[in-house]
C-alpha cells in the first residue's frame, strides 16, 4: 500500500469518523431538546387539566351548596396563583435545560463541520475538477475554490483574500510595474499605449491550466480581459474602451509593439498568488453528494457510507495488519484501530464493521 492510500485511510478513520460521531451526538441532543420541549408542553396541559377538573368539581358542589359560591372563586384564585407560580419556576428550569442542550448541540455542529473542513482540506479523495473564482465585492474579494472529486462528492472552500499580498492592493502594478499595451496605431505608424498600472482586478477564474481575469480602470472605465495558458505560456488580450473591443493578440501590428514575455510573467505571478491561497486556511462553505447539499443539515454519514462501501476502500482495509504492535511506522493504521474508531461513532457499529470486514 503506497503512502497516498495509507493517508486516505488515516484521514477517513480520523477526521471523517469524527465528523460522523459529532453528527450522531448532535442528533442525540436534538432529540433531548424535542423531548424536553414536549415535556414542558405536557406539564402545561396537565396543570390546565387539573384546574379544569377542580373547577368542574367545584361547580357541581355549588349546585348543592349554593352558599359556597363565594368561597369557590377564592379557592380557584388561590389555585391559579399557586399553579402559575409553580409553572413559572418549573418552565424557567426547563427552558434553562433546553438552552444548555442547544449550546451543547451547537458545539457538536461546530466541531463536526470543523472536522469535515480538516478532512477535505487535506485533499484526501481523487480530485476530478478544480477551479478558483474571484469576484470583487464592495469591501473585499470573494474567493471560492470549487472541487469535484470521486464518489460523487463536490465541495466549495472560501479562501481568505487577506492572506494574499496582491489582494490587499489588487492593481496590475502590484504584479509588474510599467506594463503597456498598444491600443491604437495611427496611419503614420505612431502607437498609442495604455499603461496598466492603475488597472484594478475585477474578477478572475483559474481552472486547470487556464487563468481568465479582468482588470478595469476606475477613472476611464476601460477594461482589459486576459486569458493566460499556464503551460504555454500563451496569452490572449482584449482591450475595451467605450464599448469598443480590440483583440490585441489577434493583431500582428499590435503584437509587434508589445513585450508578451513581461505580460506572461505578470500573469504567471497572479496565477501563483491565487493558487497559493489554497495552501492556507480554507473555510468549507458547501458540501454536496450527488448534487444534494448536506453541509447545513450535517448529514455527514452519507459521505462516510458512500466512501466505506466502495470496493477500493474495502480492498485497502483488507491489506491492513490486524494491529500495529510490530509496525515500523508509528503512523501506521490497523484493523484494530479502525474497529476502535468505529466504536466511538456510537451508531450502526455492527453494520459498519460488516461492511468493511465482511
Do 311 and 150 meet the contact criterion of CB atoms below 8 Å apart? no
Per-residue CA distances from 68 to 51, 57, 60, 64 (Å) = 18, 13, 11, 9
Tell me the C-alpha distance between 63 and 66, whole Å: 6
Question: Can you tell me the distance from the alpha carbon of 28 to that of 10, in angstroms, rounded to the nearest whole number?
Answer: 27
Query: SS in 3 state form for 314-330?
Result: HHHHHHCCCCCCCCCCC
User: What single-letter DSSP state applies at residue 219?
Assistant: T
Which pLDDT score, from 0 to 100, does residue 138 have? 81
Residue 328: per-residue pLDDT? 62
The pTM (predicted TM-score) of the whole model is 0.85
In sequence order, what are the beta bridge partners of 195?
180
Q: Where are the domains of the chain?
A: 16-121, 161-277
- Residues in the chain with pLDDT values less than 70: 326-331
pLDDT at 327: 64
- Distance between CA 91 and CA 99 in Å, rounded? 12
Alpha carbons 238 and 226: distance in angstroms, whole number: 7
The Cα 330–Cα 312 span in angstroms is 24
CA-wise closest residue to 285 among 167, 154, 164: 154
**Cα Dmax for the chain:** 121
Measure the CA–CA gap between 49 and 98, rounded to whole angstroms: 24
When computed from its CA atoms, the radius of gyration of the chain, rounded to whole angstroms, is 33
Q: How far apart are the first and last CA of the chain?
A: 20
CB 304 within 8 A of CB 17: yes
CA distance 298 to 29: 14
pLDDT for position 172: 96
In DSSP notation, 145-190 reads EEEEEGGGEEEEEEE-GGG-HHHHS-BGGGT-TT-EEEEEE-TTS-
- Residue 164's pLDDT is what? 92
Amino acid at each position: 500500500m503506497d503512502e497516498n492510500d495509507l493517508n486516505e485511510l488515516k484521514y477517513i478513520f480520523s477526521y471523517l469518523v469524527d465528523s460522523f460521531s459529532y453528527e450522531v451526538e448532535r442528533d442525540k441532543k436534538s432529540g433531548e431538546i424535542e423531548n424536553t420541549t414536549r415535556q414542558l408542553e405536557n406539564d402545561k396541559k396537565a396543570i390546565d387539566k387539573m384546574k379544569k377538573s377542580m373547577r368542574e368539581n367545584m361547580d357541581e358542589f355549588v349546585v348543592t351548596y349554593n352558599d359556597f359560591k363565594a368561597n369557590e372563586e377564592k379557592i380557584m384564585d388561590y389555585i391559579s396563583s399557586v399553579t402559575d407560580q409553580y409553572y413559572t419556576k418549573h418552565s424557567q428550569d426547563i427552558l434553562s435545560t433546553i438552552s444548555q442542550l442547544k449550546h451543547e448541540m451547537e458545539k457538536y455542529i461546530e466541531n463536526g463541520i470543523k472536522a469535515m473542513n480538516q478532512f477535505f482540506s487535506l485533499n484526501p479523495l481523487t480530485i476530478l475538477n478544480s477551479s478558483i473564482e474571484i469576484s470583487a465585492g464592495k469591501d473585499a474579494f470573494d474567493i471560492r475554490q470549487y472541487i469535484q472529486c470521486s464518489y460523487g462528492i463536490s465541495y466549495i472552500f472560501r479562501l481568505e483574500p487577506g492572506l494574499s499580498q496582491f489582494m490587499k492592493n489588487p492593481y496590475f502594478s502590484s504584479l509588474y510595474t510599467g506594463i503597456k499595451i498598444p491600443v491604437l496605431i495611427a496611419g503614420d505608424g505612431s502607437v498609442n499605449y495604455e499603461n496598466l498600472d492603475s488597472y484594478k482586478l475585477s474578477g478572475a477564474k483559474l481552472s486547470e491550466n487556464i487563468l481568465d481575469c479582468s482588470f478595469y480602470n476606475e477613472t476611464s472605465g476601460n477594461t482589459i480581459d486576459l486569458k493566460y495558458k499556464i503551460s504555454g505560456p500563451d496569452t490572449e488580450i482584449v482591450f475595451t474602451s467605450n464599448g469598443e473591443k480590440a483583440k490585441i493578440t489577434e493583431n500582428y501590428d499590435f503584437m509587434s509593439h508589445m513585450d508578451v514575455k513581461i505580460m506572461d510573467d505578470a500573469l504567471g505571478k497572479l496565477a501563483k498568488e491565487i493558487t497559493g491561497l489554497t495552501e492556507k486556511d480554507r473555510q468549507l462553505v458547501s458540501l454536496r453528494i450527488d448534487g444534494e447539499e448536506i453541509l447545513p443539515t450535517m448529514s455527514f454519514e452519507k459521505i462516510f457510507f458512500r466512501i466505506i462501501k466502495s470496493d477500493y476502500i474495502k480492498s485497502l482495509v483488507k491489506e491492513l495488519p490486524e494491529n500495529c504492535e510490530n509496525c515500523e511506522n508509528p503512523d501506521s493504521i490497523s484493523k484494530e484501530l479502525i474497529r476502535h474508531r468505529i466504536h466511538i461513532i456510537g451508531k450502526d457499529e455492527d453494520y459498519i464493521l460488516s461492511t468493511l470486514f465482511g
